[in-house]
Amino acid sequence: MSIKKGCILSALILPALLTGCERPVSFESDVMPILQASCVSCHSGSGEGIQLTELNLTSYGQVMQGTKLGEIVVPGSAASSTLYLVIDHKVDTKIQMPPHHDDKFPQGEGKPLSTEQIAAIKRWIDEGAKNN
Ligand code: HEC
């Protein structure tokens, strides 16, 4: 009760980001729109991302299924999750996602995700990668 009141008070005073009182990240309303906008052009249907890796990013079930090599999300640990590592450029530049490097894929080059988008996906994984 008093914790909740504190959150509401500090949310009024400080930007929500600084308070640590944000609501959990939602797969449906936060993560999915990012994937839709920046990833499914290649990771759905006959896109090249699917062709090379079998990674389909069109639903929670598919995201959790991962690539032909295995899972890309380790619930609770973004640092161990390929999904996070490729968007935050913690991998070889050749596999950063969406691709925005010199070796362009036939279907093109994407814009890197924004800091906020990367942070949202990281937090969603760290919060347990729920189907919420
Ligand atoms: C322009 C097409 C394209 C877009 C857009 C794209 N991808 Fe990919 N993705 C690929 C291709 C092609 C591969 C296979 C790369 C390879 O094998 O070198 C791949 C591979 C991956 C892998 C597997 C990496 C591994 O090493 O196992 C992940 C995870 C991934 N993409 C996530 C994403 C995410 C998340 C987005 C959106 C932020 C995204 N991709 C956007 C084409 C794309």
What average pLDDT is seen over the chain?
Answer: 88
Ligand 1 pocket residue status of 66, Cβ below 6 Å: no
pLDDT for 13 beyond 70: no
CA gap 131, 32 in Å, rounded: 11
Segment 113-128 mean pLDDT: 97
Task: Compute the chain's Rg from CA coordinates.
Answer: 16
Q: Which residue's C-alpha comes closest to atom 15 of ligand 1? A: 95
Task: Count other C-beta atoms under 10 Å from residue 97's C-beta.
Answer: 23
- What pLDDT is stored for residue 20 in this prediction? 60
78 or 9, which is more confident: 78
Q: Which atom of ligand 1 is nearest to the CA of 105?
A: 1
Ligand 1 pocket residue status of 25, Cβ below 6 Å: no
- Residue among 129, 122, 107 nearest 52 (CA): 107
- What pLDDT is stored for residue 16 in this prediction? 53
Are 100 and 110 spatial neighbours (Cβ–Cβ below 8 Å)? yes
- What pLDDT is stored for residue 104 in this prediction? 75
Residue type, 3: I
Interval 61-96: pLDDT, tens:
999 999 999 999 999 999 999 999 999 999 988 889
Interval 24-51: pLDDT, tens:
999 999 999 999 999 999 999 999 999 9
